[in-house]
Amino acid sequence: MNDKQLYAQILGIRAPWKVSNVSLGLADGKVEVYVTALPAAFVCPECGRPCPGYDRRERRWRHLDTCQYQTFLVGDIPRVECPEHGVKQVQVPWAEPGSRLTSLFESLVIDWLKEASQSAVAKRMSLSWDQVDGVMARAVERGLIRRQRKLPARIGVDETSFQKRHEYVTIVCDLEGDGGVLHVADGHDRAALECFYEQFSEEERSAVDVVAMDMGRAYPAATRAFIPEAHRKIAFDRFHVVKLMNDAVDTVRRGENRELRSQGDKRLVGSRHYWLQGPLGMSEARWERFEKLRESALKTARAYAIKDLADSLWAGSDDEAIREQWARWYAWAIRSRLEPMKRVAKTVKANLDGIIVAIKNHVTNARLEAVNSLIQKLKKRAHGYRNRQRFRNAIYFHLGKLDLYPEGAAG
């Protein structure tokens, strides 16, 4: 087998294409494989209609290295003239349209992108940053096209920061299947979620059982506008409720700590994590200190007790019993004379229906919170994203559960 036959086998080159020459450049460490199109009836890549030839243009594609030599495919590629679409370059079997990398090489880049940053992959593969970014963008585009359009019965909605300047994107996640990210949209307003719902018919939206979210105004408003009987399906999951209560306890602690320190009392100094973490995972020494604080007459201890009782109410299946338990909790919190706890109590009361939906359906946004955590890791690895589209592509690439690989290439 000669070198032309070898590369024809390796690249899967078949009629009407053939390998016409192989050139080894020892000085520059490159192998160039020349491919020629034999006379044949080519078709328009847009509509598939057989069309007359127009001309030929030389094109180059980077391929997998050969014995540490960079390998390139070079060919005079025919262009056809379509009556409907004009002059178009014919589709080649070794690469996808718009790419100057073979499908096998692009697949290797995708494999590396799953493990490292774009800058690291560019350096490792001797590519420009823009070339690597193009691989990711094409992978996401084909993955979204291939993905079956389906609205799961349970979805979670959350926001995640795009940059430090309080800029956000909205994330929609599948809570019942593979946990993949279904939707990424700029902002965290009502429109950011509505553009997701608009993709589906009323019948598909009616099949939704639960939408988990925070207690802001935008996401519930969008859901009520598009999901039939939304009042039975909007769930305010435990994570966001607990976060509100932790913030309220910490507000009480900070105010009381300032007051005590002005009197020379340093009991609350350095105790922030005790109140947020609770007893789980504490060392014995820390637990002894926290227990003394928790059983004291401090305002912070009272706020923590209110929060601790709320933590115990996330169970049950009887609507009336759950409402009665939260009503007793509300009465205690509202009489506590602790303004941060009273504000949380009023928020809980206003959103109690959504909390009950979450309790009865055992709904949690834990999967979406895990996705959010992974997104922050992606941002850190990339040293931030200045371009929203690239941020969106990175989320879909790593967390969208998409089929990313070029047609015919093994993933």
Distances (CA, A) of 127 to 73, 118, 120: 16, 10, 10
Instruction: Output the pLDDT for position 68.
Output: 85
Instruction: Output the pLDDT for position 135.
Output: 96
Domain ranges of the chain: 3-94, 238-360
With a cut of 70, list the residues of the chain below it in pLDDT.
1, 164-165, 408-411
Contact 392, 184 (CB under 8 A): yes
How many angstroms separate the CA atoms of 36 and 7, rounded? Answer: 13
Contact 384, 254 (CB under 8 A): no
Long-range CB contact pairs, 332-336, < 8 A, 24+: 332/306, 333/306, 336/302, 336/303, 336/306
Distances (CA, A) of 125 to 129, 313, 383, 394: 10, 54, 20, 19
Contact 252, 241 (CB under 8 A): no
Instruction: Output the pLDDT for position 1.
Output: 59
What does the block give as tokens for 35?
Answer: 């491919």
Instruction: Output the pLDDT for position 165.
Output: 63
Instruction: Output the pLDDT for position 269.
Output: 94
